[in-house]
Amino acid sequence: MKFLMIKSNKQKQNLLFLILFLLILSIKFQFFLNIYIILKNKIETRMVSTYGYCYPFGYGFINEVYLKYDLNDYNLNTNNKNIAPTSNIFKFSFGNKKSHYEILINYRLGDLKKIKKKFNIVESNGDCHLIKYLYD
């Protein structure tokens, strides 16, 4: 226990300053609230609250489609009309096969009519759609 013994007043001040500084940083960056949220909520709940069900990135819809149609062995192309970063990263894997399905995020029904290839709408929820291209 000799390593815990503080010998001078200067060391006491430094230790007090360090503890106070860490406490202020933890409050400023909401450390305690973030730990509580991580421990209380499951990963799926946190991902949907961050990336949205349909808007802005469509994580909830993408996850639901993969589970409902058992598409975990396939890489579905994901197009997001409003956001530049792609939502493919949520379920992409290098070992998976390419699919005839495509997920469209933030596409209104009028936007679907502008797609030149033939397709069927498999599932639609608000502005999120799962489509399957028809190949002759």
Domain ranges of the chain: 12-40, 54-133
Q: For residues 125 and 113, what is the distance between their CA atoms, to the nearest angstrom?
A: 17
Q: Global pTM?
A: 0.76
Q: What's the pLDDT tens digit per position in 69-126?
A: 999 999 999 999 887 778 888 888 898 998 889 999 999 988 888 888 899 999 999 9
What tokens appear for 120 in the block?
Answer: 């069927």
Mean pLDDT of 13-42: 94
Helix (H) or strand (E) holding 108: none
Query: What pLDDT does residue 88 have?
Result: 86
Mean pLDDT, the chain, whole residue set = 89
**For 36-87, where are the E strands, in sequence order?**
74-80
Q: For residues 28 and 12, what is the distance between their CA atoms, to the nearest angstrom?
A: 24
Q: CA 113 → CA 17, 54, 79, distances in Å?
A: 64, 20, 15
